[in-house]
Amino acid sequence: MMLQDFGTTVLTCTPSYALYIAEVAADMEIDIRKLPLRVGVFGAEPWSDNMRKEIENKLNIDARDIYGLTEVIGPGVSMECEQKNGLHIFEDHFIAEIIDPETEEQLPYGETGELIFTSLTKEAFPVIRFRTRDITSLNPEPCECGRNIVRMHRVSGRTDDMIIIRGVNVFPSQIESVLMDIEEAEPHYELVIDRKGALDEIELRVEVNERIFSDEIRKLESIQSRIQNEIESVLGISIKVTLVEPKTIERSEGKAKRVRDLRPKE
């Protein structure tokens, strides 16, 4: 309705949300390709060139990747030009480096490692050699668009265990801390992430003890919704919670595997 009413020409959101908008428009029998929309600026989650093509086809727009992080400035640290061949880092504001995350040694241009930023113009909360944990490489070659500021390759992953659900950063440790405060819940849980249509869905499977599990349904439902509400208020995203019988979550002898990511690899 807003796209129609305002004749919006630029859409900025996560790439998965753009696909969701396309899906909803199709369900409403609106031809979104015929709306005035011409450019999409998408970021906050990893996406592939295949997904770009899908978005461009479905919405009939030019889709560009944008990158940023809260600690540095938020969105707009780097962005793709019309060449869509790497994201130009705004070097008049940020010095970018790539390091080996293990040795912390600086790596030469072209090599893949962890991205580091030093801010030049930011006031009050400047950063010096801030470790982003994002894995990428830098390309100093002048771009065909005419800009000669360095380009970064699209981010391929992170050095830690953070998961990104619908553009929201989720750490398994956050979920763990919520469960710790709910006495009926056992510390055995797993997160199952899947993609339904264009949106990521996250399910928390958590064990409850025998006594509670054999309790009446109403009680189980109330524990379930309590966990759900707590997590929603901490993470800011909705999550499906399933209570399971004791001993149903697979145990690990080494580091616990908390996350089962069933999303298709891109």
Helix runs in the chain, H state only: 2-6, 15-27, 49-59, 172-180, 210-213, 217-235
Q: With beta carbons less than 8 A apart as the criterion, state whether 70 and 117 touch.
A: no
Nearer to Zn ion, 79 or 192 (CB): 79
Nearer to Zn ion, 109 or 171 (CB): 109
Least distance between Zn ion and beta carbon 96 (Å): 15
Choose the stretch contacting Zn ion; rule: CB under 5 A; options: 52-60, 147-155, 198-206, 224-232: 147-155
Least distance between Zn ion and beta carbon 179 (Å): 46
110 residue type, one letter = G
Q: Which residues contact 254 (CB under 8 A, 6 or more apart)?
A: none
Q: Which residues contact 82 (CB under 8 A, 6 or more apart)?
A: 62, 145
Return the closest-CA partner of residue 90 out of 111, 75, 112, 70: 75
The radius of gyration of the chain's CA atoms, rounded to the nearest angstrom, is 22
- Using CB under 5 A as the binding criterion, the count of chain residues that bind Zn ion stands at 5
Return the closest-CA partner of residue 202 out of 237, 161, 249: 237
CB atoms within 10 A of CB 154: 16
Residues in contact with Zn ion, shown as a per-residue x/- string from 106 to 145 under the rule CB under 5 A: -------------------------------------x-x
Least distance between Zn ion and beta carbon 38 (Å): 19
Least distance between Zn ion and beta carbon 88 (Å): 6
Give the separation between CA 192 and CA 258, rounded to whole angstroms: 9
Nearer to Zn ion, 137 or 224 (CB): 137
Structure tokens at 86: 């790497």
Nearer to Zn ion, 145 or 259 (CB): 145
Least distance between Zn ion and beta carbon 147 (Å): 5
For residue 150, state whether it binds Zn ion (rule: CB under 5 A). no
For residue 81, state whether it binds Zn ion (rule: CB under 5 A). yes
Nearer to Zn ion, 87 or 206 (CB): 87
Among residues 4, 48, 83, 222, the one that binds Zn ion under rule CB under 5 A? 83
CB atoms within 10 A of CB 148: 12
Residues in contact with Zn ion, shown as a per-residue x/- string from 16 to 35 under the rule CB under 5 A: --------------------
Instruction: Please report, as residue ranges, which positions from 34 to 73 form the binding site for Zn ion (by CB under 5 A).
Output: none
Among residues 133, 147, 158, 226, the one that binds Zn ion under rule CB under 5 A? 147
DSSP string, 115-151: EEEEESS--SS--SSEEEEEEE-EE-SPPTTS--S-E
Instruction: Please report, as residue ranges, which positions from 192 to 221 form the binding site for Zn ion (by CB under 5 A).
Output: none
Least distance between Zn ion and beta carbon 144 (Å): 6
CB atoms within 10 A of CB 169: 17
Choose the stretch contacting Zn ion; rule: CB under 5 A; options: 13-21, 81-89, 119-127, 157-165: 81-89
Task: Give me the residues that bind Zn ion (CB under 5 A), please.
Answer: 81, 83, 143, 145, 147
